[in-house]
Amino acid sequence: MAQAHATIATVRSLVQALQAIRTHQKLPCAVTFEAAAGLSLRFLDGGHAMQSGISLSTSVFSQFQAPASLTFFVPLSMLLDSINTVASSMPHELHLQYPGPDNSLLLTTTEDASARTSICSYAKVATLAQQDMSSLDDMWDPQEVCSQVILSAIEDLEWTGGEVEFVMRRSPMHFSLQSIKQQSLEITFPAHALDGFSCHTEEVRATFKYKHLKAAFTNVAQKELWSAKIAISSRGVLRVTHMLTLAGGAPLASLEAQPLLGTLTSQAHAPRTCIVKFVVMPYDEKGDAGFGGDDD
């Protein structure tokens, strides 16, 4: 079997990025090494109404060797715990190897490898059987960016729980979030905060479970050199992209975005940016429209 090796020095930034998809559930996570694209992780939530993923380009790594494409599955919670444990000796480099002993994902870090004596820490993450999981890129369109005000709005809606409706209107320009349980609670964004607003129909309405919005927006640990992009498709599917510039990365650069049904934009990603993606299916009172399976 072809082997994949990767070494990353910005372990602290990697841990922060992984926190964006932290979960307490024992979910299967698809790990993909690609020679041209880098390393990606993706998983479905327990209710199959949201899929999440992280992409790290090859430029993020100090060493990266992989075949054209190599995918395997590991328990997500075990992977996050193993990286946190092995990387506790930060800022030393973290090395990933697959396959390792017993067909596992091997994580290693060495404290001061140039010294006469050094400490090597390692963890073996057992792999799972192949799972049926579509690629996020299969349903992804280029998106535009929203400013940080939406993050604050999502946090403000936490006490309401339940469902949240996104409302976008073309003329006059309007964007608001409304709690379904608390009809009186509506957060309307002022026009000057809607940088790059674009709505390609008269009105766009879509409803999502708050727990999925919270997972998609509020777990990002890095608040500097960070931007978030949102778009709503014609089917009401919410697509969220977080862009985190890792240590040593370049400043965020401009991006010419393609129009979707409704979008917001302000800034975009750079070559050394870690990209975190979420796809959230709209809520339906008859049952969540999802990637498959019933809601929890």
Q: Is the pLDDT of residue 21 over 50?
A: yes
Does residue 110 sit in the same domain as residue 168?
A: no
The CA-atom distances, in angstroms, between 79 and each of 75, 121, 154, 185, 268 are 6, 15, 28, 39, 29
Residue 23: count other Cβ atoms within 10 Å of its Cβ. 16
Does residue 214 sit in the same domain as residue 164?
A: yes
* Tokens 């004596």 -> residue: 117
Instruction: Answer yes or no: is 296 within a domain.
Output: no
Does residue 144 sit in the same domain as residue 132?
A: no
Does residue 123 sit in the same domain as residue 192?
A: no
Does residue 150 sit in the same domain as residue 230?
A: yes
Give the model confidence (pLDDT) of 99-131 as tens digits. 999 999 999 887 765 667 677 888 899 998 877
Last residue of a domain, one of 97, 112, 136: 136
pLDDT of res. 104? 93
Ramachandran angles phi, psi of 165, nearest 5°: -100, 130
Last residue of a domain, one of 136, 164, 198: 136
Residue 291: count other Cβ atoms within 10 Å of its Cβ. 18
Cβ neighbors of 256 (< 8 A, separation 6 or more) are: none
Instruction: Answer yes or no: is 63 within a domain.
Output: yes
CB 20, CB 221: distance < 8 Å = yes
Of 173, 155, 154, nearest to 165 (Cα)?
Answer: 154
Cβ neighbors of 138 (< 8 A, separation 6 or more) are: none
Does residue 131 sit in the same domain as residue 149?
A: no
Count: domains in the chain: 2
Last residue of a domain, one of 71, 101, 136: 136
Instruction: Answer yes or no: is 286 within a domain.
Output: no
Identify the band that residue 222 occupies on the pLDDT scale cut at 50, 70 and 90.
Answer: low
Instruction: Answer yes or no: is 34 within a domain.
Output: yes
Does residue 45 sit in the same domain as residue 116?
A: yes
20 lies in which domain range?
A: 4-136
Mean pLDDT score, 165-192: 80
Does residue 128 sit in the same domain as residue 151?
A: no
Instruction: Answer yes or no: is 162 within a domain.
Output: yes
What proportion of the chain, given as a percentage, has pLDDT over 70? 65
Does residue 73 sit in the same domain as residue 165?
A: no
Instruction: Answer yes or no: is 295 within a domain.
Output: no
- CATH number for the domain that contains residue 231: 3.10.150.10
Task: State the Cα–Cα distance between residues 162 and 279, nearest whole angstrom.
Answer: 19
Instruction: Answer yes or no: is 288 within a domain.
Output: no
- Name the residue with higher pLDDT: 115 or 267: 115
Does residue 63 sit in the same domain as residue 106?
A: yes
Task: State the Cα–Cα distance between residues 248 and 265, nearest whole angstrom.
Answer: 25
Does residue 107 sit in the same domain as residue 231?
A: no
